[in-house]
Amino acid sequence: MPTQFLAQPIDYLRGVGEQRATILKKDAGIFTYGDLLYYFPYKYIDKSVIHTIVSLTPDMPYVQLRGKITSVQVLGTARAQRMVATFADASGVIELTWFQSINYLKQSINVGNEYIAFGKITDYKGKYSIVHPEMELYTPAITLQQIPLYPAYNTTEKMKNRGLDSKAISKLMLALVTLIKQQQIIFPETLSPAILEQYRLMSATDAIIQLHFPSTNATIINAQNRIKFEELFFLQLKLIKLKKLNQQNIRGHVFSIVGAYFNEFYKQIPFTLTGAQKRVLKEIRNDVGTGKHMNRLIQGDVGSGKTIVALMSMLLAIDNTYQACLMAPTEILATQHYHGITELLKGLPVTVKLLTGSTKAKERRFIHAQLLSGELNILIGTHALIEDVVQFKNLGIAIIDEQHRFGVEQRFKLWKKNSVAPPHVIVMTATPIPRTLAMTLYGDLDISTIDELPAGRKPIKTIHYTENKRLMAYGLMREQIALGRQVYVVYPLIDESETLDFQNLMQGFDNIVSYFPEPQYRVSVVHGQMSAVNKEASMQQFVKGNTHIMIATTVIEVGVNVPNASVMVIESAERFGLSQLHQLRGRVGRGADQSYCTLITGFKLSADSKMRMSTMCETNDGFKISEVDLKLRGAGDIHGTQQSGIMNFKLADLAKDQQILIAARNTAIDIMNDDPNLNLPQHAGMKAELHKIETGKTNWSRIS
């Protein structure tokens, strides 16, 4: 019965009708009674108090008044038309104004009738009014106006045009909840009695009703916690189950030999590995030496030495007669990896090739032949690696750099490049991920953290200047260039428009060259409208030290490694997110010299922008920065996580609900350890819910 009730088409609910049903389906994804019940309010408005007009103050958010309409007039013509009503109670008079739906309002708002008016106070030259108040004819009967905590729902313009504003959604919800109570519907429990008791969670039925029509603020919190726990618990249950299945069912290539390639390279490294690098290498060797299929995330700050760990993992594969590949999101980063790895492998008989969109057809054919014959040991490239024509003889390990730039499906194509058994997978990110987000996004991966920078690196000094102190930033640039150093100047992408981006950058270029004139100073430019060949040529001028200043857009966010660059100037820094600012800053500080990052912003900054600037100036720790970023932006915006399909929570918020997430994960681990197939009677509802979540969805989650 409850299942049938929830599956009822929304068209059948009183007050909906054909036209409203169409717009609810299209704009809100509401097809059934169940969909409507899970369309939760985004806030609650306290309607428990009816104010008097004399008590109103401009700082009140929303107010509710009870009084009579004493006069109504329509002023202006055509688009400038507005309706103004005088509203009075025993204490005074206030003006109500409407600019829309005037013909309808003229018929429904009548002089002499008593109404409940609800809206936000507007203060114009000391005179109060309410613009577009909600009006309801006063009646002693119980209606929505008597609900003390009034739900507010998100609606679109199309919904509003069809009369489906927040108030109308509330009326539909009231009709549906009334049906539930009349028919005594009890929703099936997805959580076991033990979990409900352990965490003192509401029943599913109570939680859903209280979320729409709560009796107190405390019940809102309790109802929200129930739904949040459920959302996070089933995500964790799914991830932990997948991880267990992968460990049981997927055979990994065994790298049993630590041979000449690995050992010779280790001997010739011109520096000492950090303790963190050694620890992560040990974790990788434990994985690949046992026949376990490795799915591992390596996260570490910019410059922490992830590439060396990746390269040594690839050499382990070569020692065991397997091939390796490294996929990067951009040609610049792939080329940088190619040059860096080729340089590191100098003197060793390892064949390395680069494959990108710019690779000529003749070179491609040669690479394809070498891959199939097994002569090619390491292939580095971009998305070109996942084309069907690229076939390996025996791919043993796949490294994916800056993994959040790739879709899951793209990574899956790389995973299928070995027909016998999937290659071991390492995904790397230079943007540290907070623990709670990592256990949610990558709950089915093993996570390694390189939390130590190489010896001799000095912390980057970060300075925030407003526009009026730009000359101080230029002064620092001159000082550093005089010492033989180089400088980046980065401009943001404006409105994701390459044209505007280009204009913004070229205006900046004019400013720079007027202050840093040739021939004393040489400037190179890199932006999105340049061809790959010209970008690379301009980049190489800077890499080789032939130019002092590189003016660029965020194309250099990842991949450019110039140890001699000691200053990063970020223009319009308030337009960047924290993780992007941190990534850009990581382009300097690659050598032993003191490096600087200068953030230039406008004068007017939002509270969030001020927080981002102060965080950047206070710390170089990417993990601390990522925690602040998570709080400011929320999880759905970070690292392209929306594409994973994981973040479609109705209520859970990874930035705010860390304690609930940890409790949900621990509970899911315990249940999977005790009853991996969920066969116990008390887990029947849980098993049914998990099956519903998994059914009919491509299971990309197990692919790194």
Q: Is residue 40 part of a domain?
A: no
Contact 300, 281 (CB under 8 A): no
Count: domains in the chain:
3
Contact 256, 320 (CB under 8 A): yes
User: Where on the phi/psi map is residue 530: left (φ > 0), alpha (ψ -120 to 50), or beta?
Assistant: beta
**Which tokens is 622 given?**
């990417």
Q: Which helix (H) or strand (E) holds 280?
A: helix 275-288
* pLDDT band, residue 436 (cuts 50/70/90): low
Provide, rounded to the nearest whole percent, the portion of the chain with pLDDT above 70: 90
Residues 407 and 555 grouped into a single domain: no
Most confident of the following: 162-166, 258-262, 454-458: 258-262
Between CA 223 and CA 206 the distance in angstroms is: 8
Rg, the chain, Cα only: 31
Residues 421 and 465 grouped into a single domain: no
Between CA 193 and CA 199 the distance in angstroms is: 10
Angle at CA of residue 70, ends 69 and 74, nearest 5° = 85
Residues 474 and 381 grouped into a single domain: no
Residues 383 and 468 grouped into a single domain: no
- Among candidate residues 450, 479, 504, the one where a domain is terminated: 450
Residues 548 and 489 grouped into a single domain: yes
Burial class (CB in 10 A: 0-12, 13-18, 19+), 22: middle
Residue type, 554: T
User: Where on the phi/psi map is residue 9: left (φ > 0), alpha (ψ -120 to 50), or beta?
Assistant: beta
pLDDT of residue 13: 92
Between CA 632 and CA 656 the distance in angstroms is: 10
Contact 319, 261 (CB under 8 A): yes
Residues 321 and 388 grouped into a single domain: yes
Structural domain span for residue 392? 260-450
User: How many CA within 13 A on the CB side of residue 252?
Assistant: 24
Question: In the predicted model, is pLDDT for residue 639 greater than 50?
Answer: no
Residues 295 and 388 grouped into a single domain: yes
Long-range contacts of 85-94 (CB under 8 A, 24+ apart): 85/109, 87/53, 87/115, 87/117, 88/53, 89/52, 89/53, 89/65, 90/52, 91/52, 91/53, 91/54, 91/55, 92/52, 92/53, 92/54, 93/53, 94/53, 94/56, 94/65, 94/128, 94/129, 94/130
pLDDT of residue 645: 45
pLDDT digits (tens, 9 = 90+) for 45-72: 877 788 899 999 888 878 889 999 999 9
Q: Is residue 468 part of a domain?
A: yes
Provide, rounded to the nearest whole percent, the portion of the chain with pLDDT above 90: 46
Residue 482 CA, distance from chain mean position: 41
* pLDDT band, residue 634 (cuts 50/70/90): low
Between CA 333 and CA 355 the distance in angstroms is: 12
pLDDT of residue 170: 92
Contact 425, 704 (CB under 8 A): yes
pLDDT of residue 195: 96
pLDDT of residue 700: 37
Q: Is residue 109 part of a domain?
A: yes
Q: What do you get for the CA distance between the two ends of the chain, in Å?
A: 40
- Among candidate residues 146, 181, 209, the one where a domain is terminated: 146
- Among candidate residues 146, 161, 177, the one where a domain is terminated: 146
CATH code of the domain covering residue 111: 2.40.50.140
pLDDT digits (tens, 9 = 90+) for 77-87: 877 888 999 99
**Average predicted confidence (pLDDT) for the chain:** 86
CATH code of the domain covering residue 570: 3.40.50.300
Residues 404 and 471 grouped into a single domain: no
389 Cβ contact list (under 8 Å, min separation 6): 368
pLDDT of residue 143: 52
Of 123-137, 349-363, 671-685, the range with the lowest mean pLDDT is 123-137
pTM score, whole prediction: 0.66
318 Cβ contact list (under 8 Å, min separation 6): 261, 324, 350, 377, 378
pLDDT of residue 483: 95
User: Where on the phi/psi map is residue 496: left (φ > 0), alpha (ψ -120 to 50), or beta?
Assistant: left
* Alpha carbon separation from 105 to 134, 156, 508 (Å, rounded): 11, 21, 53
pLDDT of residue 442: 67
Q: Is residue 231 part of a domain?
A: no
Higher-pLDDT residue of 489, 556: 489
Q: Is residue 536 part of a domain?
A: yes
Question: In the predicted model, is pLDDT for residue 142 greater than 50?
Answer: no
Between CA 556 and CA 361 the distance in angstroms is: 27
pLDDT digits (tens, 9 = 90+) for 350-366: 999 999 988 899 999 99
* pLDDT band, residue 647 (cuts 50/70/90): low
**Which tokens is 154 given?**
């998100």
Cβ-based neighbour number of residue 697 at 10 Å: 9
Question: In the predicted model, is pLDDT for residue 463 greater than 60?
Answer: yes
pLDDT of residue 147: 66
Q: Is residue 476 part of a domain?
A: yes
Residues 438 and 586 grouped into a single domain: no
* Alpha carbon separation from 90 to 51, 53, 55, 130 (Å, rounded): 11, 8, 12, 18
Between CA 278 and CA 587 the distance in angstroms is: 24
* pLDDT band, residue 435 (cuts 50/70/90): low
* pLDDT band, residue 146 (cuts 50/70/90): low
Q: Is residue 662 part of a domain?
A: no
Q: Is residue 4 part of a domain?
A: no
Q: Which residues partner with 153 through β-bridges?
A: none
Higher-pLDDT residue of 643, 409: 409
User: How many CA within 13 A on the CB side of residue 703?
Assistant: 19
* pLDDT band, residue 592 (cuts 50/70/90): confident
Of 139-143, 644-648, 658-662, the range with the lowest mean pLDDT is 644-648
Residues 407 and 357 grouped into a single domain: yes
Count the residues in the chain: 704
* pLDDT band, residue 563 (cuts 50/70/90): confident
pLDDT of residue 638: 45
Contact 420, 323 (CB under 8 A): no
* pLDDT band, residue 642 (cuts 50/70/90): very low
Mean pLDDT on 680-703: 73
pLDDT of residue 641: 43
Between CA 191 and CA 209 the distance in angstroms is: 18
Mean pLDDT on 473-498: 85
Q: Which helix (H) or strand (E) holds 137?
A: strand 134-137
Q: Which residues partner with 129 through β-bridges?
A: 95, 122
Question: In the predicted model, is pLDDT for residue 278 greater than 70?
Answer: yes
Mean pLDDT on 645-661: 76
Residues 554 and 614 grouped into a single domain: yes
Residues 328 and 474 grouped into a single domain: no
